């Protein structure tokens, strides 16, 4: 949620009635973890995503649970988790049907209107229901209004849209009506506090989940009972520009962490802090006595300190005494000393000193909590690293031993296996298991610690191969060895940096484009080399483009579809002319795939038009989309096993699905990538012919079937390392070429609107994951073709 010129009521409250600030959230900036932080005061483990953010991995205490009664209205995805975790039957929820959370069928503002209307009906009904009336006149009660309409409109239409701004105006008006109704109902008794905030923000392109400031910074506006009135200032300093943008430079801004809002609310209604809360009470918001603030901060400090003590005790009991390393900054004596001083300050009415000392204790306790939460991180990291290094070593030795000529001619006599090695590893395994057992470690620790043992046993069994490898490398020219090592290191570094800077992929692809000209390929195959350079440079443009979803453009999706149709027409015509045996069945398969592409283009255009008219997703379009997705996994298997025909059939099938999942320029990405893959297959044939290993075959004559005749396979050579690097680089490009998949906000929900528009985390997530995997599948199919055409076993 954000402040705009339309939010008159909220601005008026900031300037005349209450206090305000920015709430700083944490990733993942999703609804469930945001609400857990707001209402329970802790940052939930991201493992909750495995339950679609809907179910509680573990039950937890919250403001709602501590209250006398809580009534809540809003989304069925949020409200039930707090009712399920409550002890007793005092948390009441009123939710609309989940089908209302439709990104395209109607005006999402109705979700917020539903909440406001139902709250009004609830209070109207209470006047005629004595039992309900007595409950809502109790103290320590909470009313929670969850307004999802703004979030839904942001996803569907972007925050800069008219729909989004109109929704903000509706919420602003709704807040005015609800506040007026509350004050009138309770006779303006001045005992009601209002807290207005948001679980997360949103990017300009309508997404959230990652750590961009537009996602992690949310407004907090509070007013009413127990809240300070606005404080005018001449100037204040912050690292952002919000004060200037919102023209609030002269109204004191009080920033908090999102988890701090939970202890603020519990303090305001006079209930205990939630059990697992790590929030620090923002006393600057409170309009109360200094004694109350100091006592509240003292209670807050004791509550967080108890969590620290429990965690320390748990870790101490599960660790051998001589291995346990306590958190030295907060020893038992220091805890007692700080608590004694704080209590003394309160007794002598030195309230500011008491508050300051309690905050110091809280910060130390939170550091200690983090220390014990991550106590085993270094140990587990080392163990996992040892396992990975062992696996890499074993795989490398296996390849060198069985599939290369590197150690031939230097092998020595094989010694008889000794029983000492296996016995040693068995003994180590028993000791490790016993060590974990007496520390009551979870079963995952056994996997992490025991798995490296058989791997390293297998490595050391190949000690003879290691000796032969070292002897072989010592005979290799030093300058060649150093040169290859530098190239390998540089290539690896480019791959690593591409995870953080997408433009590194452009640099790598540009280097790929120059590769034929640095070898003899240019003189042997000029057309293939030029094609390689052209498509490499064309693909290099994509990592420089904005992340997918920021600027949707259906015309580019239509353009990609037309290019696929033109390519299909050219290929089918060529195959019909060149191949006498081009069967009617094969032609029928290709025509069916062309029809699928045409239908996909129609569905994309039709769905976009329907959503713009707010008429929802047409059922026919939905059926066609799911049928296209299902057929894309089956139809390629019906095509000819000839390598070229099978690859082209896979491309057509996957492209028809990819078009349905596209919103802009990314629709062109798999097409360009596939063209480069076809050229890669051809150019690898040229490199093999250049080395004199085999004769070049036509792609149309090679069958995509596994041949068990191992005499046709060749041994590995140095050039195969380059091929492997090309594979890894193309895979990384396939993943990151049109966005950063490591960031949740790279995903645009509009990508799945041809399949469904009603919010469904698992289904939407699965569809977007398949969209990411399609380029990956294309690269892997191409690499299998490279293996086949270069006469190399896939195992190698």
Residues of the chain with CATH 3.40.720.10: 8-285
Residue 390 scores a pLDDT above 80: yes
92 bridge partner residues: 71
Residue 333 scores a pLDDT above 90: yes
580 — pLDDT class (breaks 50, 70, 90): low
| Average pLDDT estimate for 641-658 | 91
Sign of CA dihedral 686, 691, 696, 700: negative
Quick one: DSSP state of residue 703? B
**Angstrom distance (rounded) from CA 572 to CA 586:** 10
Per-residue pLDDT tens digits for 450-505: 999 999 999 998 888 888 888 887 887 888 888 888 988 898 899 999 888 889 99
757 within 8 A of 104, measured Cβ to Cβ: yes
Q: What is the reported pLDDT for 254?
A: 96
159 within 8 A of 206, measured Cβ to Cβ: yes
| Average pLDDT estimate for 286-304 | 96
**Angstrom distance (rounded) from CA 294 to CA 361:** 13
Bigger pLDDT: 722 or 792?
722
Find all residues with CB under 8 Å of 223, minimum gap 6, and list them.
13, 17, 18, 19, 193, 194
Phi, psi (rounded to 5 degrees) for 422 = -60, -40
Per-residue pLDDT tens digits for 585-615: 778 888 899 999 999 999 999 999 998 888 8
Phi, psi (rounded to 5 degrees) for 145 = -110, 115
Residue 582 scores a pLDDT above 70: no
Q: What is the reported pLDDT for 3?
A: 37
E strand or H helix at 95, and its extent? strand 91-95
Q: In what order do the strands lie in the sheet with 256-257?
A: 193-197, 217-224, 19-24, 256-257
Of the ranges 196-205, 286-295, 466-475, the best mean pLDDT one: 286-295
302 within 8 A of 282, measured Cβ to Cβ: no
Q: Where on the phi/psi map is residue 286: left (φ > 0), alpha (ψ -120 to 50), or beta?
A: beta
DSSP-derived 3-state class of residue 563: helix
Specify the range with the lowest mean pLDDT, choosing from 118-122, 207-211, 706-710: 706-710
Q: What is the reported pLDDT for 588?
A: 85
Residue 567 scores a pLDDT above 80: yes
Residue 62 scores a pLDDT above 90: yes
**Angstrom distance (rounded) from CA 786 to CA 791:** 8
Specify the range with the lowest mean pLDDT, choosing from 8-17, 72-81, 383-392, 745-754: 745-754
Residue 708 scores a pLDDT above 90: no
Q: What is the reported pLDDT for 1?
A: 38
In this structure, which CATH number among 1.10.150.130, 3.40.109.10, 3.40.720.10, 3.90.1010.10 belongs to the domain 8-285? 3.40.720.10
Q: What is the reported pLDDT for 80?
A: 86
627 — pLDDT class (breaks 50, 70, 90): very high
| Average pLDDT estimate for 556-571 | 93
Q: What is the reported pLDDT for 661?
A: 94
Q: What is the reported pLDDT for 572?
A: 83
Residue 794 scores a pLDDT above 50: yes
Hey, how many other C-beta atoms are within 10 angstroms of the C-beta on 472? 18
651 within 8 A of 546, measured Cβ to Cβ: no
Residue 133 scores a pLDDT above 60: yes
410 — pLDDT class (breaks 50, 70, 90): very low
Residue 64 scores a pLDDT above 60: yes
| Average pLDDT estimate for 658-662 | 95
| Average pLDDT estimate for 437-461 | 92
**Angstrom distance (rounded) from CA 40 to CA 21:** 20
Per-residue pLDDT tens digits for 524-542: 888 999 999 999 999 999 9
Q: What is the reported pLDDT for 480?
A: 80
Q: What is the reported pLDDT for 609?
A: 92
Quick one: DSSP state of residue 256? E
DSSP assignments along 177-237, one per residue: HHHHHHHHHTTT-S--EEEEE-S----TTS--SS--HHHHEEEEEEEETTBPPP-B-S---
Percentage helix, strand, coil for the chain under 3-state DSSP, each rounded to 5: 65, 5, 30
Q: What is the reported pLDDT for 2?
A: 39
E strand or H helix at 382, and its extent? helix 377-403
Specify the range with the lowest mean pLDDT, choosing from 270-284, 422-436, 707-721, 766-780: 707-721
Find all residues with CB under 8 Å of 599, minimum gap 6, and list them.
624, 628, 656
| Average pLDDT estimate for 87-109 | 85
Residue 693 scores a pLDDT above 80: no
Residue 413 scores a pLDDT above 60: no
Mean pLDDT taken over the chain: 88
| Average pLDDT estimate for 334-347 | 96
644 — pLDDT class (breaks 50, 70, 90): confident
Q: What is the reported pLDDT for 692?
A: 59
716 — pLDDT class (breaks 50, 70, 90): confident
Q: What is the reported pLDDT for 55?
A: 65
pTM score, two decimals? 0.86
| Average pLDDT estimate for 279-300 | 96
Bigger pLDDT: 152 or 761?
152
| Average pLDDT estimate for 202-229 | 91
4 — pLDDT class (breaks 50, 70, 90): very low
Helices 443-450, 452-461: inter-axial angle, 10-degree rounding: 10
Burial of 530 (C-beta count, 10 Å sphere; 0-12/13-18/19+): middle
DSSP assignments along 628-668, one per residue: HHHHHTTGGGGS-SBHHHHHHHHHHHHHHHHHHT--SGGGG
253 bridge partner residues: 20
């Amino acid at each position: 949620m954000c402040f705009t010129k339309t939010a008159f009521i909220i601005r008026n409250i900031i300037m005349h009635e209450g206090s305000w600030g920015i709430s700083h959230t944490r990733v993942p900036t999703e609804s469930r973890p945001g609400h857990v932080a707001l209402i329970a005061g802790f940052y939930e483990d991201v493992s909750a995503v495995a339950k679609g953010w809907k179910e509680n991995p573990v039950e937890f205490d919250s403001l709602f649970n501590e209250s006398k009664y809580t009534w809540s209205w809003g989304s069925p995805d949020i409200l039930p988790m707090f009712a399920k975790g409550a002890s007793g039957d005092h948390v009441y929820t009123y939710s609309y049907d989940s089908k209302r959370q439709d990104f395209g069928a109607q005006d999402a503002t109705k979700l917020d209107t539903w909440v406001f209307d139902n709250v009004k009906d609830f209070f109207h009904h209470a006047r005629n229901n004595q039992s309900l009336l007595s409950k809502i006149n109790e103290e320590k009660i909470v009313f929670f209004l969850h307004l999802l309409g703004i979030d839904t409109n942001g996803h569907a239409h972007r925050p800069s849209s008219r729909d989004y701004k109109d929704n903000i105006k509706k919420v602003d008006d709704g807040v005015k009506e609800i506040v007026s109704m509350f004050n009138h109902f309770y006779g303006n008794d001045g005992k009601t506090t209002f807290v207005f905030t948001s679980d997360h923000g949103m990017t300009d392109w309508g997404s959230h989940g990652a750590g961009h400031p537009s996602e992690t910074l949310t407004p907090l506006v509070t007013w009413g009972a127990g809240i300070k009135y606005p404080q005018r200032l001449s100037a204040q300093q912050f690292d952002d520009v919000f004060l200037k943008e919102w023209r609030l430079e002269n109204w004191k801004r009080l920033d908090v962490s999102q988890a701090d809002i939970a202890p603020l609310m519990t303090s305001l209604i006079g209930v205990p802090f939630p059990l697992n809360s790590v929030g620090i009470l923002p006393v600057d918001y409170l309009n109360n006595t200094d004694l109350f603030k100091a006592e509240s901060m003292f209670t807050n400090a004791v509550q967080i300190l108890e969590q620290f003590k429990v965690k320390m005790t748990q870790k101490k009991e599960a660790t051998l005494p001589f291995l346990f390393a306590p958190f030295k900054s907060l020893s038992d004596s220091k805890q007692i000393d700080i608590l004694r001083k704080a209590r003394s300050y309160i007794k002598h009415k030195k309230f500011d000193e008491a508050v300051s000392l309690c905050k110091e204790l809280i910060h130390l306790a939170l550091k200690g909590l983090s220390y014990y939460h991550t106590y085993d991180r270094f140990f587990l990291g080392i163990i996992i690293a040892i396992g990975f290094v062992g696996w890499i070593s074993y795989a490398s030795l296996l390849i060198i031993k069985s599939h290369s000529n590197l150690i031939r001619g230097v092998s020595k006599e094989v010694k008889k296996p000794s029983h000492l090695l296996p016995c040693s590893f068995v003994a180590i395994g028993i000791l490790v298991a016993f060590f974990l057992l007496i520390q009551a470690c979870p079963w995952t620790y056994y996997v992490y610690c025991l798995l490296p043992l058989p791997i390293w046993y297998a490595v050391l069994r190949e000690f003879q191969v290691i000796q032969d490898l070292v002897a072989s490398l010592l005979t290799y020219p030093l300058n060649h060895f150093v040169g290859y090592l530098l190239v390998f290191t540089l290539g690896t570094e480019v791959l690593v940096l591409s995870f953080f800077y997408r433009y590194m992929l452009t640099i790598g692809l540009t280097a790929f484009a120059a590769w034929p000209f640095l070898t003899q390929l240019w003189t042997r195959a000029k057309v293939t080399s030029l094609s390689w350079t052209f498509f490499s440079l064309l693909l290099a443009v994509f990592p420089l483009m904005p992340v997918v979803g920021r600027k949707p453009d259906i015309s580019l999706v239509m353009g990609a579809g037309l290019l696929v149709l033109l390519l299909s027409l050219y290929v089918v015509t060529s195959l019909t002319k060149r191949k006498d045996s081009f069967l009617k069945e094969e032609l029928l398969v290709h025509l069916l795939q062309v029809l699928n592409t045409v239908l996909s283009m129609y569905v994309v255009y039709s769905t976009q038009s329907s959503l713009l008219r707010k008429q929802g997703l047409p059922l026919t379009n939905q059926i066609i989309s799911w049928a296209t997705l299902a057929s894309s996994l089956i139809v390629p298997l019906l095509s000819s096993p000839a390598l070229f025909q099978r690859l082209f059939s896979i491309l057509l099938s996957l492209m028809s699905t990819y078009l349905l999942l596209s919103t802009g320029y990314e629709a062109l990405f798999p097409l360009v990538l596939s063209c480069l893959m076809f050229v890669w297959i051809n150019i690898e044939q040229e490199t093999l012919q250049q080395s004199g290993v085999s004769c070049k075959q036509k792609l149309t004559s090679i069958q995509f079937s596994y041949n068990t005749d191992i005499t046709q396979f060749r041994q590995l050579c140095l050039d195969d390392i380059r091929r492997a690097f090309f594979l890894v680089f193309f895979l990384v490009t396939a993943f990151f070429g049109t966005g950063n998949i490591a960031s949740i906000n790279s995903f645009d929900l509009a990508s799945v609107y041809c399949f469904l528009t009603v919010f469904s985390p698992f289904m939407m997530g699965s569809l977007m994951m398949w969209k990411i995997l399609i380029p990956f599948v294309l690269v892997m199919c191409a690499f299998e073709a490279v293996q086949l055409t270069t006469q190399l076993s896939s195992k190698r």
